[in-house]
Amino acid sequence: MSVAHAGEFGLIARVTARLPEAPNTLLGPGDDAAVVTASDGRVVASTDVLVEGRHFRRDWCSAEDVGHRAAAANLADIVAMGARPTALLVALCSPPDLAATWAEELADGLAAEAVLVGAGVVGGDMSASPTLTIAVTALGDLEGRAPVLRTGARPGDIVAVAGRIGYAAAGYTVLSRGFRTPKLLVDAYRRPQVAYLAGPRAAVAGATSMIDVSDGLLADLGHIARASSVGINVRRDAFVVPAQMRDAASALGVDPMTWMLGGGDDHAFAATFPPHVTLPEGWQAVGAVTEGADVTVDGRPYRDGPAGWDHFRAAGPQS
């Protein structure tokens, strides 16, 4: 059965019925809108879009993989504010001949990723489109904390990261060269393993700024640097290249540091902390906030590769 023959309401009902209800949900799918509680009166919200051919390829990723990726991209944005994700809203725009089973498997991936943070899908919509597109909106709860913004970094702060760095970018390169191994790297591209607990832990520990590394570590640290009117210096020796990544880089003729400094699909987190703070579990110091306005590596401008992903200039799937 195709999506077109399944019918909009019927398929949405079938898809959302496969998903767990979020604990914060008072009213789930089936009405004109959902009702979600917000414990302290504030709601953190973020939206991300995945377009086939631009952000994913069906010959590289299963429908379930795409569901994981779509959910992770949005949940990570909520976590990067220091909040706890509570709910997802999903819109699917698909060619009429897309199999209904593909949409159901997409829902399975969304559900499995949402379960990791105790969230659920509370509604969605469908439309016909010549290009397969998944749009996800995530909601979150600050649980009484102040949001961690990009504007709070100060000279002297510690720059730290949490989560995997470079794995997904390496997997993307492997796939783009026509290979399917090493499995560790390819799987990291297909389904990111996000350190969801890192964001709230950083907020509680007093992080002065934070960001989801979705476009590349240097590029996203650049967002913090510009928002906070500071410089940021990253140390190469703070990063340990995993053995499989090192071996794959050698075989492909790539400097693995270009993946670690410029890759973003792992949805790691970067944050700045006051110099006296003990970094929370899962966070590793990789540099320092300085006077100035640039992001440097070992005190110099980075010239060894792209600093990150450009959504309007780069080609190929990325999130």
CATH of the domain at 65: 3.30.1330.10
pLDDT of residue 313: 47
Domain check: are 19 and 71 in the same one?
yes
156 is an annotated ligand-binding site residue? no
46 is an annotated ligand-binding site residue? yes
Domain check: are 127 and 192 in the same one?
no
18 is an annotated ligand-binding site residue? no
Domain check: are 120 and 216 in the same one?
no
Domain check: are 164 and 293 in the same one?
yes
176 is an annotated ligand-binding site residue? no
228 is an annotated ligand-binding site residue? no
pTM, two decimals, is 0.89
Burial of 250 (C-beta count, 10 Å sphere; 0-12/13-18/19+): exposed
Domain check: are 179 and 285 in the same one?
yes
Domain check: are 130 and 203 in the same one?
no
Q: In what order do the strands lie in the sheet with 231-234?
A: 209-213, 268-273, 158-162, 283-290, 231-234, 295-297
Domain that holds residue 13: 3-141
Q: Encoding tokens for residue 197?
A: 């607990």
Tokens 């789930």, residue located: 28
Domain count, the chain: 2
124 is an annotated ligand-binding site residue? yes
Distances (CA, A) of 36 to 46, 82, 109: 15, 19, 22
pLDDT of residue 34: 65
pLDDT of residue 123: 82
55 is an annotated ligand-binding site residue? yes
Asked if residue 209 belongs to a domain, the reply is yes
125 is an annotated ligand-binding site residue? yes
Domain check: are 162 and 255 in the same one?
yes
Q: Encoding tokens for residue 263?
A: 């890759």
Which helix (H) or strand (E) segment holds residue 76: the answer is helix 63-79
Asked if residue 206 belongs to a domain, the reply is yes
Asked if residue 56 belongs to a domain, the reply is yes
97 is an annotated ligand-binding site residue? no
Domain check: are 174 and 112 in the same one?
no
Domain check: are 136 and 196 in the same one?
no
Weakly modelled stretches of the chain, pLDDT under 50: 9-10, 309, 311-317, 319
Residue 103, helix vs strand vs coil: helix
283 is an annotated ligand-binding site residue? no
Instruction: Phi first, then psi: give them for residue 222, nearest 5 degrees.
Output: -60, -35
Domain check: are 18 and 107 in the same one?
yes
265 is an annotated ligand-binding site residue? yes
Domain check: are 222 and 112 in the same one?
no
Domain check: are 130 and 185 in the same one?
no
32 is an annotated ligand-binding site residue? yes
Asked if residue 149 belongs to a domain, the reply is no
Asked if residue 70 belongs to a domain, the reply is yes
Asked if residue 146 belongs to a domain, the reply is no
E strands present in the chain: 25-27, 35-36, 44-51, 84-94, 120-128, 133-141, 158-162, 209-213, 231-234, 268-273, 283-290, 295-297
